[in-house]
Structure 1
């Protein structure tokens, strides 16, 4: 292992057990179901309780980013142990987590002037952020330097994609995050937009009313991506994800394997509270990131 510690905010949805296995430390987001009391995702409120609030109580939870102090508390032990810090955050376009980490970096550099503290905007979130972290950890395990891993993330984030179907557009509206999707609102909240997250920005890849059709559209958008870019799917690692609906995930998994032949697939993962608070129950998507070897590292 290298003499640097990899960190990430909790928007990566990798889970604490997998993160520990890979030597990654997480700084979780906060979740509130009453809009007054906030709890650290997973550590202080389970995903089961969180999704029960959304699906059974039809509630609209809120999230809050990790604080500056959260990042200081996470980074300090590694710095005291003589390690450098490499932190990946959720895309800046969806949260100010990056700013919290950058402020913590500035404050800690005064106490640890000889240490390196690198904070990176992943331009993605959830499963794509997770896949990027897994590649970063694999590079570290294989003896790659902090500079190599940093260079990889700057390249990989330009090719990483999330193609997903919003579960319930009303969550984006209530949360004030409807942004570029505003033209789809106003009496059309029953539709399920197909969203493309790339280069840190969201765009609409299609719309549908039925979930089954939406999953097919995600496969079509993915197939179109590789056709237009000329990229080789076998150079990528991928994972499908959902938050609350699992009974059609086997079919979706096979559909995506047909859409991106040769790609390395991980088992489906659960989309966590940070993203789900804004996209609603039933959110399902496909995330893929380019492996580090194919950038020449």
Structure 2
């Protein structure tokens, strides 16, 4: 029986403990700060925030390139000979990473790619769904497995509140007028993945303690999320009080498991400090 190996990008923010436990292979994306290129995962988030405090500039990000993917897939084949590789990728609508993976994959047999049309916890949710399927049925036919994973891609729901309008403004993601209005009224945009694209779907007003609870309630009212698992994403700076309250709400609403995921360097350059997100898969 040939072994199936799952892989994804660092932009999934898949916790290292889960990647190691399930042999999920993770290829790094890139963060460019002060003219230097860093591999995501080799640059601490605190360094990004310190850089912003000093310069009022944020780093840029870039995709994993074709050569890196080629070397990544080659290493998987070396470490897991005769394996079948299923790569579950970062949304193609927000990065060139998936397209680069497709090009690299042309040189490999038994390598299949799935566009998860999602990022961070939404991508992790799809990867961990695949992990669960493999654990339940290790001998599952790869084609059948791929069909099952692809059926869940449109049901993976991610919503998040960036932690800082200052960070969004510095990155050119909001206009000065929107920034001033939002800052004065303490408005925080909710960002969701809609058909793989990052879209602002609603706005909240108030401090993050209240906003996080409102987002949780709205998210669960909008989506019928599988109660077996929910993921919460945070960027450094989110208060422990908020984490505790959100975990309580997950328990109160019947979730069997909740997992907190820290946004890595790549995702944190878009969310800013103190961001909060929710991800899960609809039934």
Say whether the 8 Å CA contact 1:206–1:217 is kept in structure 2: no
Q: Could you tell me which residue of structure 2 aligns to residue 121 of structure 1?
A: 115
Quote the RMSD (CA, aligned, Å). 2.5
Q: Could you tell me which residue of structure 2 aligns to residue 99 of structure 1?
A: 99
Gaps of 5+ in 2: none
Instruction: Tell me whether 79-88 or 275-284 shows the greater mean CA deviation.
Output: 79-88
Say whether the 8 Å CA contact 1:89–1:120 is kept in structure 2: yes
Residue 204 of structure 1 pairs with residue 196 of structure 2 = no
Q: Could you tell me which residue of structure 2 aligns to residue 30 of structure 1?
A: 30
Deviation at 1:265, TM superposition (A): 2.5
Task: Provide the C-alpha distance between the structure 1 equivalents of 2:218 and 2:249, rounded to a whole number of angstroms.
Answer: 12
Shift in alpha-carbon separation, 1:171–1:73, aligned structure 2, 3 A: same
State the number of aligned residues: 273
Deviation at 1:223, TM superposition (A): 2.6
Q: Could you tell me which residue of structure 1 aligns to residue 263 of structure 2?
A: 271
Deviation at 1:54, TM superposition (A): 4.3
Say whether the 8 Å CA contact 2:56–2:170 is kept in structure 1: no
Gaps of 5+ in 1: 110-114
TM-score (norm 2): 0.85
Task: Provide the C-alpha distance between the structure 1 equivalents of 2:153 and 2:25, rounded to a whole number of angstroms.
Answer: 20
Shift in alpha-carbon separation, 1:12–1:173, aligned structure 2, 3 A: same
Instruction: Tell me whether 198-207 or 155-164 shows the greater mean CA deviation.
Output: 198-207
Q: Which one of 176, 181, 187 corresponds to residue 188 of structure 1?
A: 181
Shift in alpha-carbon separation, 1:246–1:212, aligned structure 2, 3 A: closer
Task: Provide the C-alpha distance between the structure 2 equivalents of 1:157 and 1:272, rounded to a whole number of angstroms.
Answer: 22
Deviation at 1:7, TM superposition (A): 0.9
Instruction: Tell me whether 276-285 or 75-84 shows the greater mean CA deviation.
Output: 75-84
Q: Could you tell me which residue of structure 1 aligns to residue 211 of structure 2?
A: 214
Deviation at 1:199, TM superposition (A): 2.9
Query: Deviations along 1:245-265, whole A, 9 cap, x unmatched?
Result: 13221112223444xx22232
Instruction: Tell me whether 20-29 or 75-84 shows the greater mean CA deviation.
Output: 75-84
